[in-house]
């Protein structure tokens, strides 16, 4: 499942190489894969060459990535991978709790057997991906799970809004993952949630969802930074990526 915004990019499908949506997707994937870390400068010409497209195409992708808050667009200074603040990260999870709480509340009352089966199957795939160590696929499936729930609930506006928040989440997770914690992505939570949904128990489903999101947030280190580090955050600088990567430059 693709992000709604990514799909929305005016995309002239075939002909003449990759379109803005492809560039969007490749940059987004690179961010999820840690190949692009927060603060990394994204140069138009370099990316255009790499992807075999014109600068205009890269520019359009940047614009969409900026509305999703994946990159930050600084006038005359180019695009950098966004560095979500701690407060923003907390707010993001809080926002997801209210929206996804509402979504599962609605869904619990009207979910069908077929939908339960679909969700169960998704969890299974996710689980298998984890066991095989395919972290990227697993993350993707885990994220999709939330998008599918939103679609099933049947409110397209709410689904669209959630899509934005869900897309932003991996970035803050990567930015603030507590190294001490395991990144075991709470697959069990998803299973419990589906159980509650299957039982049409709205209250339990809402609780399960909120707990799931709290667990996720709890795996992060969102403590206020020590005064010593403060300067770095004030000026939007990150501690400096350790290893340069394929696209990553300068």
Partner DNA sequence: GTGATTGATTTTGTGCACAATATGCCGCAA
Partner DNA sequence: TTGCGGCATATTGTGCACAAAATCAATCAC
The size of the interface with its own copies (CB under 8 A), counted in residues, is 26
Nearer to DNA, 54 or 181 (CB): 54
Rg (CA), the chain: 19
Identify the residue among 25, 102, 127, 238 touching its own copies (CB under 8 A). 102
Site for DNA in 51-80 (CB under 7 A): 54-57, 59, 73, 75-79
52 C-beta neighbours (distance < 10 Å), count: 11
Say whether residue 48 binds its own copies (CB under 8 A).
no
Question: DSSP character for 16?
Answer: S
Task: Give strand pairing partners of 79.
Answer: 42, 73
- When CB distances are held under 5 to 8 angstroms depending on the partner's kind, the choice from its own copies, DNA, none that residue 15 binds is DNA
| DSSP β-ladder status, 71-74 and 78-81 | antiparallel
Helix, strand and coil content of the chain, in percent to the nearest 5, comes to 65, 5, 30
Structure tokens at 166: 């869900």
Task: State how far the Cα of 1 lies from the Cα of 168, in Å rounded to an integer.
Answer: 15
Nearer to its own copies, 51 or 62 (CB): 62
Q: In the complex, which residues of this chain contact its own copies (CB under 8 A)?
A: 5, 8, 10-12, 63, 66-67, 73, 75, 87-88, 91-92, 94-95, 98-99, 102, 155-158, 161, 164-165
Question: What is the contact surface with DNA in residues (CB under 7 A)?
Answer: 10, 12, 15-16, 41-45, 54-57, 59, 73, 75-79, 250
């Amino acid at each position: 499942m693709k992000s709604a915004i990514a799909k929305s990019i005016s995309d002239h499908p075939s002909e003449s190489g990759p379109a803005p949506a492809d560039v969007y997707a490749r940059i987004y994937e690179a961010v999820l894969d840690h190949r692009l870390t927060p603060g990394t400068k994204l140069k138009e010409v370099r990316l255009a060459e790499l992807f075999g497209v014109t600068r205009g195409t890269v520019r359009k992708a940047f614009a969409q990535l900026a509305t999703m808050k994946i990159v930050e667009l600084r006038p005359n200074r180019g695009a950098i991978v966004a560095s979500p603040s701690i407060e923003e990260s907390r707010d993001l999870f809080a926002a997801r709790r209210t929206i996804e709480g509402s979504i599962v509340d609605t869904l619990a009352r009207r979910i069908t057997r077929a939908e339960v089966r679909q969700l169960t199957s998704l969890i299974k795939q996710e689980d298998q991906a984890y066991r095989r160590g395919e972290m990227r696929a697993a993350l993707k499936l885990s994220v999709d799970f939330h998008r599918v729930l939103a679609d099933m609930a049947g409110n397209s506006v709410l689904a669209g809004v959630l899509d934005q928040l869900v897309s932003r989440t991996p970035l803050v997770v990567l930015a603030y993952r507590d190294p001490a914690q395991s990144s075991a992505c709470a697959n069990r939570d998803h299973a419990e949630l589906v159980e509650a949904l299957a039982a049409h128990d709205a209250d339990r489903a809402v609780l399960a969802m909120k707990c799931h999101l709290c667990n996720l947030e709890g795996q992060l280190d969102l403590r206020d930074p020590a005064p010593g580090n403060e300067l770095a955050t004030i000026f939007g600088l990150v501690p400096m990526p350790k290893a340069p990567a394929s696209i990553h430059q300068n």
